[in-house]
Amino acid sequence: MVDRTILGIDHLYRRPVYARTKECSINYPENGPLLPDAPSWCQAPFDPEGLLSSVMAIVTCLIGLQFGHVIIHFEKHRGRIMNWLIPSFIILALAFLMDFVGLHMNKPLYTISYTLVTAGAAGLLFAGIYALVDVRGFRTPTIPMEWMGKHALMIYVLVACNILPMFIRGLYWRDPNNNLLKFIGVGA
């Protein structure tokens, strides 16, 4: 409603993801014909990257900013880890509570519960990696991630221009279709 009022209807998707829900589709959870008594919103145009989704993206950034704030203002490892773990568990508990009461986790709609569960899980993962790498000194396995972090823009350009997938597809075993991309299920 907000997107339609402010931005108009021309930018919205005509085949919404929620048409696969049990309220809409005969072939739930797949696409299919609408149920005879399907609500009118099953065919309504939809924008997953609309204004309300942008608010959820801002919330995710602010939670990440808080995690960065902890790095600057806490010097001891224990203080940092506790200031990441406690909010992460609270955020996760809140996300699962919201899911339980009906605000379900839904990536295409970028709901608040989805935003909170991804932010909470990222906080736990961040605290775990920090404890392993910076506290325990377990650096060797993280060298590839460090390299990718330093060269993220170059990797993005290589993937966006299809250079890296073509290179990886060129490395195969006995048959051109027997390559790494095929193995992990990306591309043909």
Residues 36-75: pLDDT tens digits? 887 777 777 766 667 777 888 899 999 999 999 999 999 9
CA atoms within 13 A on the CB side of 137: 0
Asked whether 116 and 94 are in contact (CB, 8 A), the reply is: yes
For residue 95, count CB atoms less than 10 angstroms from its CB and return exposed for 0-12, middle for 13-18, buried for 19 or more: buried
Tens digits of residue pLDDT in 104-136? 887 767 789 999 999 999 999 999 999 999 999
Specify the length of the chain in residues: 188
Instruction: Domain ranges for the chain, please list them.
Output: 1-47, 48-138, 151-184
Secondary element (H or E) of residue 41: none
